[in-house]
Chain A
Amino acid sequence: MRSFDYHCATNPAEALSIAGAAPARYLGGGTNLVDLMRQNIEAPAALVDVSRLPAVIEETPNGGLLIGAAVRNNVVAAHPSVRTRYPVLSRALLAGASAQIRNMATVGGNILQRTRCAYFYDAAGSHCNKREPGSGCDAIGGFNRYHAIFGASEHCIATHPSDMCVALAALDAVVHVKGPGGERDVPLLDLHRLPGDRPDIETVLQPGELITGVALSPSAAAAHSAYRKVRDRSSYAFALISVAAGLEVVDGRIADIRIALGGVAAKPWRALRAEEMLLGTDPAKERFLAALDAELAAAKTFDGNAFKVELAKRTVAAVLCELAGVNP
């Protein structure tokens, strides 16, 4: 690991001022960044430890929740309000990594974690445009079982590995950001970028900007929501695909529906097309499948991950059937 200066910030203003003085990375639980630094994939000159910033989960005036960026993943998952009002978020967090890692990882760090593409990690022998812009993408034509079917480019087909973000995408979460230029709110769905020709630029955050929290709005669909993760190993493995969904049915018609997919793109993928087709209809498996066919028509697959289309379709349909209480 290369040398770096370490600073521990006690409040966001202090974090911003330290980060402004030197090219720095913010450090949360370290579960991803420390690993990447040890592999010499990241080599920041300075780390600003933001894991000790106030870590609270508070009720908001609109009846939602504001989750501090420094709150540990397991604390969010076990929080009574999250478990009852946003079960999809609790389940998604519990599906991620291991208990030890969830005890370390912060909400902000989870959002900003980097891909687990094996070619990205293989600094010693593989080409990766995300790690070294312009060097090529060995995942194309290589092992790409875990890779993207949506939004990929000829430069990068990596996926975003977070489970939590898939749930946040379904919940229309809003990310609170503080930066040198002031504060702003970014919808989670707009925070991550698709790779295009710059896969090394992964979010819309500007240098020095710090995630301070995530805001959730209340909704019936959020309270009636579920998460399903499909993986080779039954636990402690990244998703082949995952599904976060919420559903509100009023008088036999779908009044609100949220579908987000994980493991399919460089960002959590909201199935807006399918949602649009299903809104206002009465829930039935055939209709779910038809809507997913339409959504997945835009998928572009590779040798190793063509199965994801069928897998995603079936898994989403099964989750929706369960939420709707209709025959699977």
Chain B
Amino acid sequence: MAIVINGTEYPLPDDPRVSLLDLLREQLQLTGTKLGCNQGGCGACTVIVDGARVLSCLTLAVQADGREVRTIEGMVAADGGLHPLQQAFIEHDGFQCGYCTPGQICSAIAMVAEYRRGDPSYVTADLAEGPKGTTRQEIRERMSGNLCRCGAHNGIVDAIEELLAGEAP
């Protein structure tokens, strides 16, 4: 029983009650991932498991056995500096208090992959065709699972738009 987090393998907790979020924060001191509502209502705890964004507060750590987890600590650019989206958040002032930011960034990075794969959203006009181009409405709907109480939404969407306009990885 093991889990890979940002490329490093860790044993799973013995107690199945431990959430993936608590494993990260309390046992591995990976405190970049934030505890918000702890009930699936805010998105602050978003991490990427096997490429899919999920809520770590509602994931039992044992359920992630054998899976690969990426957290905000694993988001780095090729040169070891900030991930391009982190840089874009700074440039577009995509946060005030910063508490929702790790969740927003993990969510957005996985969302870009969903978008490029052609997955539809509730606001996609043509379901069969999938999303056409990138629109701010599409970004907004797809990011609606990440709340922001400071109201940095415009800057967050600007930053993600910039990431989407860039080269596909």
Contact = CB atoms under 8 A, between A and B. Distances in A.
Contacts of A30: 58-60, 63
Contact of B54 (A1, A27, A80, A104): A104
Contacts of B121: 94, 99
Task: Name the prevailing secondary structure of the B interface residues.
Answer: loop
B120 A235 contact: no
A112 interface: no
Interface residues of B, number: 36
Interface in B41-99: 43, 46, 52-55, 58-60, 62-63, 65
Interface residues of A, number: 39
B126 to A, nearest CB: 9
A97 B145 CA distance: 8
B58 A104 contact: yes
Interface string A23-44: 0000101110011001100000
A78 B39 contact: no
B120 A98 contact: no
A120 B38 CA distance: 18
A74 B119 contact: yes
A6 B127 contact: no
A83 B128 contact: yes
Given A4-B17, A83-B128, A100 B122 contact: no
B107 interface: yes
Contacts of A38: 38-39
B102 to A, nearest CB: 13
B95 to A, nearest CB: 19
A84 B120 CA distance: 12
Interface string B132-154: 00000000111011100000000
A80 B117 CA distance: 12
Given A35-B39, A100-B54, A236 B63 contact: no
B40 interface: yes
A228 B111 CA distance: 24
Contact of B62 (A6, A39, A101): A6
A108 B141 CA distance: 25
A6 B16 contact: yes
Nearest to B143: A99
Given A34-B58, A99-B53, A99-B145, 8 more contacts: A31-B55, A34-B60, A38-B39, A51-B63, A98-B144, A99-B107, A101-B145, A235-B141
Interface of A: 1, 3-6, 8, 27, 29-31, 34-35, 38-39, 47, 49, 51, 72, 74, 77-78, 80, 83-84, 87, 90-91, 94-95, 97-101, 103-104, 234-236
8 contacts: A47-B16, A83-B127, A84-B127, A99-B53, A100-B46, A100-B145, A101-B58, A104-B58
Interface of B: 15-17, 19, 38-40, 43, 46, 52-55, 58-60, 62-63, 65, 107, 111, 114, 117, 119-122, 124, 127-128, 140-142, 144-146
By Cβ-Cβ distance, the 8 closest A-B pairs, closest first, are: A98-B145, A6-B16, A235-B144, A94-B122, A103-B52, A78-B119, A83-B127, A236-B144
